[in-house]
Chain A
Amino acid sequence: MYGRNWSFRITWFRILLIILVLGAAAACLYRFIFGLGAVTNLSDQWPWGLWIGFDLLCGIALAGGGFSTALVVHVLHRDKYLPIARAALLTSLLGYIISLVSLFLDIGRWFNFWRPFFYWGFHSVLFEVFWCISLYTTIQVLEFGDIFFEKVKFPALKKILGYMMTPLLILGIVLPSLHQSSLGSLYIVAIDKLYPLWWSMLIPFFFVWSAFFLGPAMVTVEGTLASRAYGRQPELPVFQSMTKLTMWMMIIYFIVKMIDLNYRGVFGMAFNGSYESNMFLIEMIVFVLLPIFMYAIPSIRTKLWGVVTASLLVVVGVVFNRMNVVFTGMAKSVGGSYFPSIWEFLITIGMWSALALAYLFIVENFSILPKEEHTHSTHTSYGPSFHA
């Protein structure tokens, strides 16, 4: 099995993805030569747009599956979740790479990108975000190394990695917890700019908490997609048993949000009929309350369509929330208008296509998904053990 050669099957869909990636790469080149103004619709009023708002903020939130699964599987040792552990790690790693790439694209003076490592603006939230993301991506690469060296035989390196695994795993949860929250803290400075339904001193908590409960939902959606693509059985029992955790976390999220709004005396703003208040109501009702109910009702929760729909709502809801913070909530106070240019879209689509291609290549060449025969017998242990 492991002696198998590298393989990558070419289909029409994959050719389309490759074309999109190449198109985006050309656009990126153009951007690096002629500057941001030449390709984006950004302005002095809207210094951050699609790449920061979607690719970075959402990319990283969506990668939340990595750290929540790591916590459940490798710290709490809840073994029934093992079948999804590696896939979660992989998507998380790819999500972070996207975020780093989009950050690199978005910074105007990109040849200076290494400066923050040396000039410590530690009073800046961005400093924490930058360090945590870079370190955590490195850690995920190392964690992935463990899988990589199963195929590419290099026993000495694998052994070294084995020794490092426990600290890496712990750091691999602490770092993302910190910066998922500090992505929220980035917006603390936007007091008097960000609409009060979203601005709060608790925004770091809301960001990290939602990234955490997004994890299982993301794993469900992505696991279902993968099983569709490869004609496998979706891991329904695993998906189902995760819903409880997600549901309770979302209930807590909702309660804290309500208390926070009341405490700051802005609860009424949710019903003042403004554009912001409507967007906020949609966010809360469709993307928080509805999935909570779907997870709570057994006849929905136990069906594949039920878990998947509810999980999809959670995933879209977190994206919706981040978009509200970056765009909806800022629109009124900063004035002007922003809509991404065709080039910005093209580059974003290209990056996500690259992610899909990388995912396909990796699951077809490395041991990421559980072997079919084990899929539904996850409570037993597998053969004699070689390492603990």
Chain B
Amino acid sequence: MSKGVLVDVTRCIDCKSCMVACKVWNDLPSRKTEFSNDLDAGQLNSDTYTVVNNCISENGGEVVWRFVKRQCMHCKEPACESACFTHSFVKTKEGAVIYKPTVVDQDYCVGCRYCMIACPFGVPTFQWEKAFPYVEKCTFCYERTQQGLKTACTQACPTGALKFGDREELLAEAWQRINNNPNYVKHVYGEKEYGGTSWLYISDVPFAQLGFKTEVFNRPVTEKSIPSLTWDVLKWTPYIFVGWGALLTAMRAYTKRRAEVHNEEEMYGPVDPKE
């Protein structure tokens, strides 16, 4: 059963309990912060798997604050997994997309960071300051969920803004909430984006205003999974290899008969460095 989390943006009060729980459970160091008037928790980094961002938005002529927890979306067909050439990312049957070097101690990653280029949500981060850096991102609390526990962040959430469960059931519940309450935007973010994600979001203000990627270069984000796009190209490799090789061999054999014969050793020579 593939797990998921339903995030109801309307219920989030920006207490940041999820951020703290995540740090504690995953044993992540804190980073030095600077004083500022900004309540926004900033961006993900290699010590921070989740952040709660503040968004000011307009809803029916009224200015409203909304708070959005961000972390890896645990895509159904993850771009990071398909990009990695050492199999360091896997989509587990439980739904989590894990990075094997740090989660299950299988250290194959070469640190090429192609996973970071590939992820459409800009999630994986890198330990830039380390000599032998790892890629870091939310693990979906893999050790916990395997034992039937909720993730640390959903466990900590005091308002029910985060709900852990089976993805399909959560999706049904999301639509139920949307249909029972006209305030919600009629969209579940994560249902279809990039082939669907395990984390699903519902909200009463348009997703674009919350910093979600809804439109890129003036058109809606792709609903096809990224791995399927890559595969559309990669699947031709063996045919090109064999076909092009055969064609070249044939051409070489055909033109060789008519070719003149050379003695290359006579033709070339070292040059004298005159300067």
Q: Could you tell me if B111 and A369 are in contact, using CB atoms closer than 8 angstroms?
A: no
Pick the interface stretch among A192-200, A215-223, A245-253, A308-316. A192-200
Query: A371 — which chain B residues lie within 8 A by C-beta?
Result: 266-269
Q: Could you tell me if B108 and A82 are in contact, using CB atoms closer than 8 angstroms?
A: no
Contact of A108 among B113, B244, B256 (CB under 8 A): B113
A173 to B248, CA, bound (A): 8
Q: Which residue of B lies closest to A230 (CB)?
A: B271
- Known interface pairs A34-B131, A363-B271; A385-B230 also in contact (CB < 8 Å): no
Q: Which residue of A lies closest to B259 (CB)?
A: A77
Q: Does B68 contact A (CB under 8 A)?
A: no
Query: B226 — which chain A residues lie within 8 A by C-beta?
Result: 189, 191
A110 to B252, CA, bound (A): 40
Query: A230 — which chain B residues lie within 8 A by C-beta?
Result: 271-274
A178 to B134, CA, bound (A): 30
Q: Which residue of B lies closest to A381 (CB)?
A: B260
Q: Does A355 contact B (CB under 8 A)?
A: no
Q: Which residue of B lies closest to A120 (CB)?
A: B87
Pick the interface stretch among A44-52, A297-305, A344-352. A44-52
Between A128, A150, A381, the greatest number of chain B beta carbons within 10 A of the residue's beta carbon is seen for: A381
Between B117, B126, B217, B271, the greatest number of chain A beta carbons within 10 A of the residue's beta carbon is seen for: B271
Q: Could you tell me if B112 and A231 are in contact, using CB atoms closer than 8 angstroms?
A: no
Q: Could you tell me if B230 and A44 are in contact, using CB atoms closer than 8 angstroms?
A: no
Q: Could you tell me if B128 and A192 are in contact, using CB atoms closer than 8 angstroms?
A: no
Number of chain A interface residues as a range: 35 or more
A330 to B128, CA, bound (A): 21
- Known interface pairs A44-B125, A47-B126, A191-B222; A82-B240 also in contact (CB < 8 Å): no
Between B126, B127, B134, B232, the greatest number of chain A beta carbons within 10 A of the residue's beta carbon is seen for: B126
Minimum C-beta distance from B227 to chain A (A): 7
Contact of A232 among B248, B252, B271 (CB under 8 A): B271
Query: A366 — which chain B residues lie within 8 A by C-beta?
Result: 270
Q: Which residue of A lies closest to B234 (CB)?
A: A125
Q: Could you tell me if A121 and B85 are in contact, using CB atoms closer than 8 angstroms?
A: yes
Between A124, A190, A231, A386, the greatest number of chain B beta carbons within 10 A of the residue's beta carbon is seen for: A124
Q: Could you tell me if B271 and A369 are in contact, using CB atoms closer than 8 angstroms?
A: yes
Q: Which residue of B lies closest to A265 (CB)?
A: B219
Contact of B249 among A33, A170, A333 (CB under 8 A): A170
Q: Could you tell me if B244 and A382 are in contact, using CB atoms closer than 8 angstroms?
A: no
Minimum C-beta distance from A127 to chain B (A): 4
Minimum C-beta distance from B245 to chain A (A): 5
Interface residues in B94-137 by Cβ distance below 8 A to A read: 107-114, 116-118, 120, 122, 125-134
Contact of A382 among B127, B266, B272, B273 (CB under 8 A): B266
Q: Could you tell me if B216 and A192 are in contact, using CB atoms closer than 8 angstroms?
A: yes
Contact of A75 among B111, B251, B272 (CB under 8 A): B251
Q: Does B84 contact A (CB under 8 A)?
A: yes
The 3 closest A-B pairs by CB, nearest first: A108-B111, A37-B128, A367-B268
Q: Which residues of A contact B (CB under 8 A)?
A: 1, 4, 7, 9, 11, 32-38, 42-45, 47-48, 71, 74-77, 79, 82-83, 86, 106-113, 115-116, 119-121, 123-128, 130, 150-151, 166, 169-171, 173-174, 177-178, 182, 185-186, 188-193, 195-196, 201, 204, 229-232, 266, 269, 333-334, 360, 363-371, 374, 381-388
Q: Which residues of B contact A (CB under 8 A)?
A: 43-46, 79, 82-87, 107-114, 116-118, 120, 122, 125-134, 213, 216-217, 221-222, 226-227, 229-234, 237, 240-241, 244-245, 248-249, 251-252, 255-256, 258-275
Can you name 9 A-B pairs with beta carbons within 8 Å? A36-B128, A37-B129, A107-B111, A124-B114, A174-B248, A189-B79, A196-B217, A360-B273, A382-B263
